[in-house]
Amino acid sequence: MEAGDILGHENMGEVVALGSEVTNPKIGDRVVVPFKISCGDCRFCHKGLFVACDRTSPNAEMAARAMGHSPAGLFGFSHMPGGYRGGPAEYQRVPMADLGPIKIPENITDDQALFLSDIFPTRYMAIGRERPRLGRQFRNLPRLIVAGGVDRNARYAGITKDGSLSAMGRARR
């Protein structure tokens, strides 16, 4: 950490300026911005492993020495994943702005949208990663429910309380 660092990664606000090459979002849009910064073009992004993007952390070597690998650039963390200012900053520069920000519809309040930048996608991804293959038990369901709200995502994914895949879940596969 360094003096002046701003932590926190629930990023939400109004777009007030854009770089010359940014086509989406538009000035005036209310947006949430995921805490990971991804390019969309590297080998990791092409595999859907956006948090492992190898083009967005200017301090990738520092992170690799400490952790054995480098994550993508991350808002509101230490300088290892890039030193990008966190969500509580008055203004926030958003690299790769065509890919990250998600426009908030007018009928959604700030309170409803805030957690789209971190908590909801994290639990949704947990369900996706732990989703059982046909015939296997969903052994991690009780642990994930403790994380809060994951049970609703599990039910949507077709996972029953006993951890098996429901008929709806089998149909979605």
What pLDDT, on the 0 to 100 scale, is given for residue 100?
85
> What string of pLDDT tens digits covers the 173 residues of the chain?
788 888 887 788 899 999 999 998 999 999 988 888 999 999 999 988 888 898 999 888 888 888 888 889 988 888 888 888 887 778 888 999 988 888 999 998 888 887 777 666 666 666 565 555 444 554 544 444 444 454 555 555 555 555 454 444 444 55
Q: Are 71 and 52 in contact (CB under 8 A)?
A: yes
Q: Are 12 and 32 in contact (CB under 8 A)?
A: yes
